[in-house]
């Protein structure tokens, strides 16, 4: 089975305060984990400074069908593809969908790698975005272990 990886970013379109946003992200993650596990997809989602960035990895047809559905979602907009390419192995094999979001602790880590308000995800590119998500998710994994 050949594996593919897709990386995109988008702009948050969830209106309301922090509690509305948190509830929507919880719903997104619950649906993602359920659907992705069934479809053989793994990956991670990052949210910072109004921007979502996500890596999806798995069989090409499943990755494409999932991305198709995600693009229709009105909770975000300006969905921009950064990369879609074959990979030798998964980077997020333990994560049906990991999440790295904004928190007091993450604020410093995000600042240290340049993910500050107004950062330009298009300039980072797919490989850099993938590396950022992988490093942050692995840190979460180590912290949880
Ligand atoms: C930023 C963002 C990321 C998402 N990621 C996924 C995902 O990885 N997998 C998934 O199935 N749905 C994802 N969704 C949700 C889909 O757009 C859609 O709501 C969901 O797949 C519908 O699932 P359901 O029919 O089981 O409720 C995401 C939505 C947003 C806004």
> What's this model's pTM, rounded to 2 decimal places?
0.95
Per-residue pLDDT tens for 81-124?
A: 999 999 999 999 999 999 998 777 788 888 888 888 888 899 99
Ligand 1 pocket by Cβ (under 6 Å): 28, 31-32, 35-36, 45, 52, 54, 56, 66, 69-70, 73, 75-76, 97
Burial (Cβ within 10 Å: 0-12, 13-18, ≥19) of residue 46 = buried
State residue 107's pLDDT score. 83
Separation between Cα atoms, residue 66 and residue 8, nearest integer Å: 12
**Average pLDDT of the segment spanning 58-75:** 98
The β-bridge relationship of strands 42-48 and 3-12 is: unpaired
Going by alpha carbons, the residue nearest to atom 16 of ligand 1 is: 70
**Average pLDDT of the segment spanning 60-75:** 98
Mind listing the domains of the chain with CATH numbers?
Answer: 3-144 (3.30.70.100)
Per-residue pLDDT tens for 25-40?
A: 999 999 999 999 999 9
């Amino acid at each position: 089975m050949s594996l593919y990886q897709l990386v995109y970013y988008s702009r948050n379109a969830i209106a309301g305060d922090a509690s509305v946003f948190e509830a929507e992200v919880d719903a997104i993650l619950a649906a993602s984990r359920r659907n992705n596990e069934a479809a053989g997809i793994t990956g991670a989602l990052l949210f910072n400074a109004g921007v979502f960035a996500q890596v999806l990895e798995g069989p090409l047809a499943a990755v494409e069908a999932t991305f198709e559905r995600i693009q229709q979602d009105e909770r975000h907009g300006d969905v921009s593809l950064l990369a879609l390419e074959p990979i030798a192995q998964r980077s997020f094999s333990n994560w049906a969908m990991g999440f790295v979001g904004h928190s007091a602790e993450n604020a410093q880590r995000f600042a240290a790698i340049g993910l500050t308000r107004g950062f330009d995800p298009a300039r980072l590119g797919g490989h850099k975005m993938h590396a950022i998500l992988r490093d942050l998710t692995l840190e979460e994994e180590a912290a949880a272990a």
